[in-house]
Amino acid sequence: MGWASPRVALPGNPPMDMLASLLHLTPATFWMVSKVVIVFFGVFLLASVWTWVERRGSAMIQDRIGPNRALLFGKWPLLGLSQLAADGIKFFFKEDLVPADANKGLFWLAPFLAFVPALIGFAVIPFGRSFESGGQMYHLSVLDPGNGMGLLYPMAIGGMAVYGVLVAAWSSNNKWSILGGMRASAAMVSYEIGMTLAVVSIFMTTGGYDPSEVIAAQGHLPWAWNIVHQPLGFIVFFTCMFAETNRLPFDFAEGESEIVAGFNTEYGSMKFSLLALAEYSHLMTASALVATLYFGGWQVPFIVNPPVLLSVGCFLAKMLFFAWVFVWIRWTLPRFRYDQLMHLGWKVMLPLSMANLVFHAWRLSQGH
């Protein structure tokens, strides 16, 4: 039982046992709780910081200064990082308005329906190499390998995020919000199929859909990574991720220049903040998926079985690089027209991902 009979810390015990005994937990329970706290708090923290990266990055790209007025204790600007605390305090104390004709229960529920799936999608992704301590194997993912869900889990959870947008749109009883929700649902159908087929091609060549199997199959040599073997699948998957995370050039659910703010129109205070953090949390999960599927995950180039901390650092570097690419693309490309995404999803991405799948199926049949 998780909370029963914690081990007694004896001299020479492994560090994990000693830490667990201090909290009167078994090592397995302590490790599980630690992973949940580290992963979910880490994604939440990175999502918060990435709002600052977005603002500083856009300022750099547009030759502006960016946030620099908020000072920590009125003295230190910290490159605008103090703005994070200022925004958090502001959102907590802003007046929380609810439209008179809104469905109040769903209006309150929608931000959580958007935020929670974005946060828990990270659960199966290994963020470092597994290690052994005291005869026990510890895995650096919230759900251990071989859980039966594998990478099907984040794909399914990512698809559920649209429910938060739809519920926010419908419950607001606002025509601009409804238009944003309808756009989100129609767009999801158009890009999800092509994106899924690109991932299925990796499952097929790997021989499994567990993330640890995908990472092990790629190995530590960069030319063995899936980005080299399946560049077409990567292009399809990465392009679809912009629509999946509701980012420019495919942020039609918001479309400020067309439908005010889409599903966000009636939201303010901490509910608006949760919807924004949901987008950035989803961005972090999407970046981690790209690193895992196509760039070897936590594998360090040219190093077999790297130290655990080095593998974690390598994974974070890959993930944050792609998170920055999301920012870079957003402030470089203009928003597509809505019909252009539908055309791209059905007539470009779907045929390309299907061709990629058929090609790799043929290669496998030839023994490659």
Annotated domain spans of the chain = 94-365
Q: What is the pTM of this model?
A: 0.87
Mean pLDDT of 291-305: 93
Which pLDDT score is estimated for 68? 79
Omega into 307 within 30° of 0, i.e. cis? no
Which is more confidently placed, 11 or 159? 159
Which pLDDT score is estimated for 231? 94
Residue 160: strand, helix, or coil: helix
Which pLDDT score is estimated for 20? 67
Which pLDDT score is estimated for 183? 79
CB 133 within 8 A of CB 14: yes
Residue 76: strand, helix, or coil: strand
| Confidence category of residue 161, pLDDT binned at 50, 70, 90 | confident
Mean pLDDT of 152-180: 83
Which pLDDT score is estimated for 11? 45
Per the DSSP assignment, residues forming a β-bridge with 136 are: 133
Range picked from 64-68, 148-152, 156-160, 252-256 for highest mean pLDDT: 148-152
Range of weakest confidence among 12-26, 83-97, 108-122, 244-258: 12-26
Query: For residues 88, 94, 99 and 100, what is the CA-based torsion angle, rounded to 10 degrees?
Result: 140
d(CA 10, CA 12): 6
Mean pLDDT of 97-104: 81
d(CA 182, CA 170): 9
**pLDDT > 50? residue 332:** yes
Residue 285: strand, helix, or coil: helix
Range picked from 126-135, 154-163, 227-236, 331-340 for highest mean pLDDT: 227-236
CB 116 within 8 A of CB 160: no
**pLDDT > 50? residue 26:** yes
Rounded (5°) CA angle 162-150-341: 35
**Tokens at 52, concatenated:** 């600052």
